[in-house]
Structure 1
Amino acid sequence: MSRWGMTIPMTGLALDEHREIVAELSGLGYTDAWSAETNGTDAFTPLALASQWDPGLRLGPAIVPVYTRGPALLAQQAATLANLAPGRFVMGIGTSSETIVQRWNGIPFEEPYKRVRDTLRFLRKALSGEKVTEEYDTFAVKGFRLDNAPATPPPIVLAALRPGMLRLAAREADGAITNWLAPKDVRTVRGVIGEDLELIARLFVCPTDDAEEARRIGRWMIAAYMTVPVYRAFHEWLGRGEALRPMNEAWAAGDRKKALEVIPDEVVDDLIVHGSPERCRARVREYVDSGLTTPVLAVVPGGGLSPAEAVRALAPSAG
């Protein structure tokens, strides 16, 4: 059986209200819980709670930005989670975006490839318990050693959207994380990283039979993401540049309404999993059949289901 993950925390549910849902996940057939870090909760706190609520889950952040914490603090937080969930924690790192790093945190978004590479190499040493004194291209560390290095260093996986970062993940990491792709796009990614590397992807799932409702929600999400330069370049590489060109032109001109209107239904249907829960589960399996190792569902509110109902309906054990 493939892995089958869930994104926590879920939209519309306070973090302290997740205990019952998380405690059910393993029993429902979920293998993983993955957090995120944008403008809501931090990446680590939900995982710390989940480590105690369901001791059967593998846990990971997808992802922690490499800019917004110093390297030593990243290592400390990774070690803390690895010790809370021995053998069950995976450290997911990536560049994040200029908006999050520079506009929101006031940190220059410079040399993203090198910063991710350097952070990966530092974490490898630090999490193994080594004392690190190293001049990297993008930062320097002098005499740092973890007091609580985990007995089993966690795997490190990289967020990667395009060939350069994907190749780095294949060479030096234990897996790659991507998102906003269709099942057919998995083969394109696999063409760069090979067949053996773990490939993790967050899939946005809207369990509703109302296709227009799902597409309306999906258009807002696509416009918010695909106008960001890294995602725009990703989809140009995947072959959607022309289909998304009218949206990008309208967005650049400040016409948000038109930008939403000109996103083709086919693009929304490609990138948002929607339909009945049965149809959604079948679509997720298409990703797995195309080579995705670990689908991580992110439930998009729709169809009148509560978060708990959606988790149960979308579980692999449900059908």
Structure 2
Amino acid sequence: MSELLGKFGVWGSRFQWADRVGEVAELESLGYGTFWLGSSPESDLELPERLLGATTSMTIATGIVNVWQTEPEDVSRSFQRIGSDRLVLGVGVGHKQIDQAYEKPYPKLVSYLDRLDVPADRLLLAALGPKVLKLAADRTAGAHPYLVPVEHTAQAREVLGDKILAPEVTVVVEEDPEAARAIAREQLAYYFTLTNYTNNWQRWGFTADEVAAPGSDRLIDALVAHGSPEQVAAKLRAHVDAGADHVAIQSLNGRYAELAEALRLKA
């Protein structure tokens, strides 16, 4: 699957990109290999299908279909209806505070996979902790972690073995560190309320105070690559050096053309 994804892609919320299909085609022309459609795409996969129709070679991936908001049989039918060899399905359990009212997330994820009729080699799991990373290695093509430091990428590589590792990395193309952190904090405010993220950050040595809103400078700098296009590109390559097969870039202030140049995507 690594050839299908390419080395670098773009991650975007469906709420922000639903009316920007043409811009995804522009990202393809810049050399990005995959567009990740985040924020729980619906089970009909209608927007991923439109994105496939607007592009010619770019992979379209869901990042992620939420197991609490969709039925696996519905998603399976949609995947099979579309029938594209450029479609990759990312699946995950969402957030405890929002979705997980009646059932623990790990058994829910397992039962969802049991009922999902999608080829394993076109399937990835959103995974933060070692248990779900191991499930990704055992049942799918690999993992798509979100909002993680480079140290997480290195450990995930060890758990996954030779399976695909495709982390999302948030970036701000801004050379003023304080201005960049302010942009990052505005975006991350929601995540400080979600225990699956704050607990994961504490696994990497951040204190409870550091992971409380608005987040310490040290935490923000570990989670969000910021600086000039060249500095951001170097931080993205650090995830590749740590073991990522593919990096899904979510830029909070755009400038994807400059990042593509810095990453030498057309070289």
TM-score, normalised with respect to structure 2: 0.87
SS at structure 2 position matched to 1:214:
helix
Structure 1 198/14 Cα, relative in aligned 2: closer, same or farther at 3 Å?
closer
Partners of 1:8 and 1:266 in 2: how far apart?
25
Indicate yes or no: 2:73 matched with 1:72: yes
1:1-319, aligned counterparts within 5 Å? 3-9=7-13, 15-19=18-22, 21-37=23-39, 42=42, 44-81=45-82, 83=83, 86-101=84-99, 108-123=101-116, 126-127=117-118, 155-194=122-161, 196-240=162-206, 242=207, 245-247=208-210, 259-260=213-214, 263-301=215-253, 307=254, 310-315=255-260, 316-317=263-264
Partners of 1:247 and 1:3 in 2: how far apart?
32
Unaligned runs of 5+ in 1: 103-107, 129-152, 252-258, 302-306
Partners of 2:65 and 2:9 in 1: how far apart?
17
Deviations 1:152-203 (A, max 9, x none): x861111111011111111111111102122232112222222x11011111
Q: Report if aligned partners of 2:151, 2:204 keep a CA contact under 8 Å in 1.
A: no
How many Å apart are 1:26 and its aligned residue? 2.8
How many Å apart are 1:32 and its aligned residue? 0.4
How many Å apart are 1:66 and its aligned residue? 0.8
Structure 1 287/109 Cα, relative in aligned 2: closer, same or farther at 3 Å?
farther
Identical-residue share of aligned pairs (%): 27
Q: Report if aligned partners of 2:167, 2:247 keep a CA contact under 8 Å in 1.
A: yes
Partners of 1:9 and 1:234 in 2: how far apart?
22
**Number of equivalences:** 259
How many Å apart are 1:93 and its aligned residue? 0.6
Partners of 2:182 and 2:93 in 1: how far apart?
29
How many Å apart are 1:223 and its aligned residue? 4.1
Partners of 1:109 and 1:209 in 2: how far apart?
45
Partners of 2:149 and 2:210 in 1: how far apart?
19
Q: Report if aligned partners of 1:167, 1:193 keep a CA contact under 8 Å in 2.
A: yes
Partners of 1:58 and 1:17 in 2: how far apart?
16
Q: What's the RMSD between the two structures over aligned residues?
A: 2.4
Partners of 1:211 and 1:272 in 2: how far apart?
11
Deviations 1:74-118 (A, max 9, x none): 21222234x1xx21111111101123325xxxxx35121111112
Structure 1 10/277 Cα, relative in aligned 2: closer, same or farther at 3 Å?
farther
SS at structure 2 position matched to 1:246:
coil
Structure 1 198/127 Cα, relative in aligned 2: closer, same or farther at 3 Å?
closer
Partners of 1:24 and 1:197 in 2: how far apart?
30
Q: Report if aligned partners of 1:207, 1:275 keep a CA contact under 8 Å in 2.
A: yes
Please, which moves more after superposition, 270-279 or 216-225? 216-225
SS at structure 1 position matched to 2:56:
coil
How many Å apart are 1:8 and its aligned residue? 3.2
Q: Report if aligned partners of 2:172, 2:251 keep a CA contact under 8 Å in 1.
A: yes
Q: Report if aligned partners of 1:8, 1:46 keep a CA contact under 8 Å in 2.
A: no
* One-letter amino acid of the structure 2 residue matched with residue 169 of structure 1: A
SS at structure 1 position matched to 2:25:
helix
TM-score, normalised with respect to structure 1: 0.74
Question: Which consecutive segments of 4 or more residues in structure 1 shift more than 6 A?
Answer: none
> Which structure would you say has the larger Rg?
1
Deviations 1:190-247 (A, max 9, x none): 22222x110111111111112111111223344421431111221222222x2xx125
* One-letter amino acid of the structure 2 residue matched with residue 16 of structure 1: D
Unaligned runs of 5+ in 2: none
